[in-house]
Amino acid sequence: MHLLFYRIFLTLSLSFLFYSCQNTEKKERFYVVTTTGHIADLVRNVAGNKATVAPLMGAGVDPHLYKASLSDLKLLQSADIIFYNGLHLEGKMGEVFHKLSRTKKVFAVSDGIPRDSLLMVDEENHIPDPHIWFDVEVWQYCLDKVCKEMILADPENKEYYLANAAKYRKELNDLNILIKDKFQIIPRHERLLVTAHDAFGYFGRRYDVEVIGLQGISTLSEYGLNEITTLSRMLISRKVKAVFIETSVSEKAIQSVIEGCKQQGHLVKIGGSLYSDALGAANTPEGTYIGMQKANLKLITEGLK
């Protein structure tokens, strides 16, 4: 009897010790789970050494088509804070976030964006374009949202988060100026960006670039012979030399357009593979938001020459 009691007491004591250690660790370093790499990079720049950040979606992953796996659900359940894009980008995960929000801190970074800064693809039905990261100025509202929620979760480190956010904001402002300056060199009538799906609307609006995507704002959108023929004719009439594929989208659609132009005697090349719905591989320059933007900028400006 005494031996049984001792074992139970020891088990409970060890469990309590383990639980206490876990709680202490969580207070010192938050575990933050994000959907996309863009958001993960944003959180890392704000949270610094106060958080471990884990994105669900890696390089080349399409968030429009993404479905949470069992391991993803376990990861989300273990998170202290969850950040996602919102605006229906992660369309197949909406119900998951809704359920998790009942017991966890779950936030859409897009909630911090004023309505008049959103790009509406369907004004009547209030459907916004979810690709908010392509406008560096709009992305800073998401920076504010992340900073605000980190401070609410950890008020003792408020000044730390504010300082990190201010530092990163300067880097974003420098990036914004760089992109604007690069496009000023290109004549306005030559600023035409043709991609697989319409992910670059915010980019086009901010930097005065005409953007055309074969598919709509979601890779779930259908395209057919009519869309391919229309786009091919437009490229021929405007003597466009380059179109772009995307790292997270099949190049099949764009290849169909290139072939359509070729049949009409107009050669169009692939100007490069752009990062659209996903960052590059981890531990590479393109695996960061700023590095991704600079890589895209280089490809686009060279392809439009």
Domains and CATH numbers, the chain: 2-179 (3.40.50.1980), 186-303 (3.40.50.1980)
pLDDT, position 91: 87
Q: 0.75 exceeded by the pTM?
A: yes
pLDDT, position 216: 61
Mean pLDDT over 80-105 rounds to: 96
Place of tokens 């904001």: 169
> Residue 105 pairs with which residues in a beta bridge?
81
DSSP string, 112-169: GS-GGGSPEEETTTTEE---GGGSHHHHHHHHHHHHHHHHHH-GGGHHHHHHHHHHHH
Whether residue 128 contacts residue 118, with contact meaning beta carbons closer than 8 Å, is answered with yes
Q: Is the pLDDT of residue 77 over 60?
A: yes
Place of tokens 């459907």: 127
When mean pLDDT is compared across 20-29, 162-171, 259-268, the lowest value belongs to: 20-29
Token pair for 305: 């020459």
Q: Is the pLDDT of residue 196 over 90?
A: no
pLDDT, position 189: 87
Whether residue 104 contacts residue 97, with contact meaning beta carbons closer than 8 Å, is answered with no
For 12, 122, 204, 277, the CA distances from 244, given in Å and listed in that order, are 60, 25, 14, 14
Q: What Rg, from alpha-carbon coordinates, does the chain have?
A: 23
Token pair for 218: 């979601």
CA neighbor of 172 nearest in space, from 145, 134, 118, 198? 134
Q: Is the pLDDT of residue 131 over 80?
A: yes
Q: Is the pLDDT of residue 266 over 80?
A: yes
Q: Is the pLDDT of residue 3 over 90?
A: no
In this structure, the chain runs to a length of 305
Q: Is the pLDDT of residue 18 over 90?
A: no
Rounded Cα distance, 68 and 72, in Å: 6
Q: Is the pLDDT of residue 15 over 70?
A: no
pLDDT, position 177: 99
Rounded Cα distance, 165 and 116, in Å: 23
Rounded Cα distance, 175 and 250, in Å: 28
Q: Is the pLDDT of residue 176 over 80?
A: yes
